[in-house]
């Protein structure tokens, strides 16, 4: 049986249109899913939308819609964007799906029965926009939310708590025994010291928020959006069926064949939820823990933080309609080491497009095919020998190791080292001159180049699926056609 691979994006909160930040995570997950599929693994790639909470109700009201109408409309925007970006997911979960809601309720009741959830009173400083309480130490001067820079409200309510405080030691032990869980390492230290400082029980219900999943045994409470949202990773893959819930009777997905997740891809701002609360909830419910939680960085736009007030949210289609989908996918994962922060500017996009895609890859393909067309066709089963074969094998090993480690930029760097190496190989060996004196040698060089390009097509496929298909088509065995440049240079 093929090895299974389960990868998730966060489910996106439907209070605003999708932008380049959402696209980044989802493209990265799609790249990984395509890579693992190409490796022959049995991939399940899950994405979706987070649809409950006071902010959604507010956005809906502002638009003159019911929350349901609003989320139906917004979920379509995300799905449409993923289609436009050539994202091939296996599951799309919406937290308003009644089947998801039922699993959330069930997990809550399981924890309640075990005593990991208990009823109490909470009073604290609450940001309505974050839908979260803040400690004094986290607030900005004037009791302002560190995210929204607006004053928080003092709130007291009857609430259910999740006994997070009881899980500190177990979490620390888990991190220690599973050093890859907190990824990248540079961000893991922050989580470990947060847990070491001592965890407090977490309020997991609201009485004021009506747009949420009601607690089954106490419907005056709705379940906190974060608790609700995290459960998507297990509700979407058949846990309901395993728990014997009738809503899931027709579920085709076998939970035990998919779970645990191999990687949860997330943005750094939600690392704590995924690396602290989520594993603790799973421990409490007696469910296995995910293998890895990878927190990537943020994009600034032309040097500025993306924000509503600056109006600098980039719709990825602004780029793809002009320059194509694949170049954007390539740029986002090549420009910045995955895990770090990056800056998106049109200028750097154009530079990278011209240098890496037009000059290196596109040019190599045109030169090679133009020369090869003069000397014959492309054979079906050529295998290089010697130094060139070694170079390809080394590149392949570097590429795979980096893909497996989610260091996408380094995987691409490995591929591009061979690509620019091949351009240099042409410059130095001058096959068009060599063909007059040593035609056999010239022919071998061209066959090597074709082989190298066929390999490159495989390596770029997860990042640029349409480009790879076009390369494979041009490089397939048989007579060589005449083609337009793969990446016409961007002028100006
Ligand atoms: Zn806030």
Q: Which domains does the chain have, with CATH numbers?
A: 346-474 (1.10.730.10)
pLDDT tens digit sequence for 407-450? 999 999 999 999 999 999 999 999 999 999 999 999 999 999 99
22 catalytic per annotation? yes
pLDDT tens digit sequence for 119-177? 999 888 988 888 778 888 889 999 999 989 999 999 888 999 999 999 999 999 999 99
148 catalytic per annotation? yes
Q: Which is catalytic among the residues 125, 145, 242, 391?
A: 145
308 catalytic per annotation? yes
In the reported structure, the alpha carbon of residue 402 is separated from the centroid of ligand 1 by a whole-number distance in angstroms of 37
Q: Which is catalytic among the residues 4, 39, 130, 163?
A: 130
Which residues touch 14 (CB under 8 Å, ≥6 apart)? 49, 50, 51, 56, 59, 70, 71, 74, 75, 78
Q: Which residues pair with 8 in a beta bridge?
A: 46, 264
- Between 40-54, 204-218, 295-309, the lowest mean confidence (pLDDT) is in 295-309
What is the tally of helices (H) and strands (E) in the chain? Answer: 21, 16
Closest among 398, 403, 402 to 35, alpha carbons compared: 403
Q: Which is catalytic among the residues 36, 52, 100, 127?
A: 127
In the reported structure, the alpha carbon of residue 433 is separated from the centroid of ligand 1 by a whole-number distance in angstroms of 67
Structure tokens at 336: 């910045």
Residue 62 pLDDT > 80, yes or no? yes
Q: Which is catalytic among the residues 73, 88, 119, 148?
A: 148
In the reported structure, the alpha carbon of residue 152 is separated from the centroid of ligand 1 by a whole-number distance in angstroms of 8
127 catalytic per annotation? yes
CA distances, 245 to each of 99, 229, 240, 282, 286 (Å): 9, 19, 5, 19, 18
In the reported structure, the alpha carbon of residue 80 is separated from the centroid of ligand 1 by a whole-number distance in angstroms of 29
What percentage of the chain exceeds 70 in pLDDT? Answer: 100
In the reported structure, the alpha carbon of residue 129 is separated from the centroid of ligand 1 by a whole-number distance in angstroms of 5
Whole-number pLDDT of residue 164: 98
In the reported structure, the alpha carbon of residue 72 is separated from the centroid of ligand 1 by a whole-number distance in angstroms of 25
Pairing of strands 218-223, 214-215: antiparallel
Whole-number pLDDT of residue 310: 74
pLDDT tens digit sequence for 228-259? 999 999 999 999 999 999 888 888 899 999 99
Residue 307 pLDDT > 90, yes or no? no
Whole-number pLDDT of residue 315: 86
Q: Which is catalytic among the residues 4, 19, 77, 163?
A: 19
Contact (CB, 8 A) for 434 and 445: yes
pTM, two decimals, is 0.94
Contact (CB, 8 A) for 421 and 360: no
3-state secondary structure of 65: coil
Q: How far apart are CA 209 and CA 221, in angstroms?
A: 8
Q: Tell me what the mean pLDDT of segment 74-86 comes to.
A: 98
CA atoms lying within 13 Å on the CB side of residue 427? 9
Residues for the chain: how many in total? 492
Q: Tell me what the mean pLDDT of segment 357-367 comes to.
A: 98
Q: Which is catalytic among the residues 149, 246, 308, 482?
A: 308
In the reported structure, the alpha carbon of residue 323 is separated from the centroid of ligand 1 by a whole-number distance in angstroms of 36
Whole-number pLDDT of residue 157: 85
296 catalytic per annotation? no
In the reported structure, the alpha carbon of residue 60 is separated from the centroid of ligand 1 by a whole-number distance in angstroms of 19
In the reported structure, the alpha carbon of residue 130 is separated from the centroid of ligand 1 by a whole-number distance in angstroms of 4
């Amino acid at each position: 049986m093929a090895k299974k691979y389960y990868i998730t994006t966060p489910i996106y909160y439907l209070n605003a249109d999708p932008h380049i930040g959402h696209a980044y995570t989802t493209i990265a997950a799609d790249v990984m899913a395509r890579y693992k599929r190409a490796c022959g693994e049995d991939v399940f790639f899950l994405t979706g939308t987070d649809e409950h909470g006071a902010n959604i109700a507010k956005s809906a009201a502002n638009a003159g819609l019911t929350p349901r109408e609003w989320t139906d409309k917004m979920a379509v925007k995300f799905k449409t964007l993923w289609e436009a970006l050539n994202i091939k997911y296996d599951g799309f979960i919406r937290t308003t799906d009644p089947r998801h809601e039922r699993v959330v309720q069930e997990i809550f009741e399981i924890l309640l029965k075990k005593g990991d959830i208990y009823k109490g009173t909470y009073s604290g400083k609450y940001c309505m926009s974050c839908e979260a309480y803040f400690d004094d130490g986290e607030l900005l001067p004037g009791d302002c939310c560190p995210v929204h820079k607006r004053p928080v409200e003092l709130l007291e309510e009857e609430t259910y708590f999740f006994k997070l405080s009881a899980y500190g030691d177990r979490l620390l032990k888990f991190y220690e025994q599973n050093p890859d869980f907190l990824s990248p390492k540079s961000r893991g230290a922050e989580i470990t010291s947060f847990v070491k400082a001592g965890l407090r029980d977490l309020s997991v219900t609201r009485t004021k928020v009506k747009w949420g999943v009601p607690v089954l045994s106490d419907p005056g409470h709705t379940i906190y959006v974060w608790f609700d949202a995290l459960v998507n990773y297990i509700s979407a893959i058949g846990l309901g069926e395993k728990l014997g819930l009738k809503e899931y009777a027709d579920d085709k997905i076998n939970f035990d064949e998919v779970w645990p997740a191999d990687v949860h891809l997330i943005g750094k701002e939600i690392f704590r939820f995924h690396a602290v609360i989520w594993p603790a909830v799973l421990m409490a419910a007696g469910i296995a823990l995910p293998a890895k939680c990878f927190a990537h960085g943020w994009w600034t736009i032309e040097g500025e933080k993306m924000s509503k007030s600056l109006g600098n949210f980039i719709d990825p289609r602004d780029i793809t309609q002009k320059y194509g989908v694949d170049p954007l996918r390539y740029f986002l994962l090549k420009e910045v080491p995955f895990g770090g922060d990056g800056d998106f500017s049109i200028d750097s996009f154009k530079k990278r497009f011209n240098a890496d895609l037009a000059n290196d890859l596109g040019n190599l393909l045109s030169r090679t095919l133009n020369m090869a067309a003069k000397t014959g066709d492309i054979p079906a089963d050529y295998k290089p020998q010697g130094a060139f074969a070694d170079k390809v094998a080394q590149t392949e090993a570097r590429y795979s190791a980096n893909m497996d480690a989610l260091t996408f930029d380094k995987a691409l760097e490995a591929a591009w080292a061979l690509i620019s190496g091949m351009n240099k190989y042409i410059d130095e060996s001058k096959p068009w001159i060599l063909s007059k004196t040593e035609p056999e040698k010239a022919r071998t060089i061209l066959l090597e180049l074709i082989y190298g390009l066929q390999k490159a097509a495989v390596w770029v496929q997860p990042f640029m699926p349409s480009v790879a298909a076009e390369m494979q088509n041009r490089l397939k065995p048989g007579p060589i056609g005449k083609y337009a440049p793969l990446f016409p240079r961007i002028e100006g």
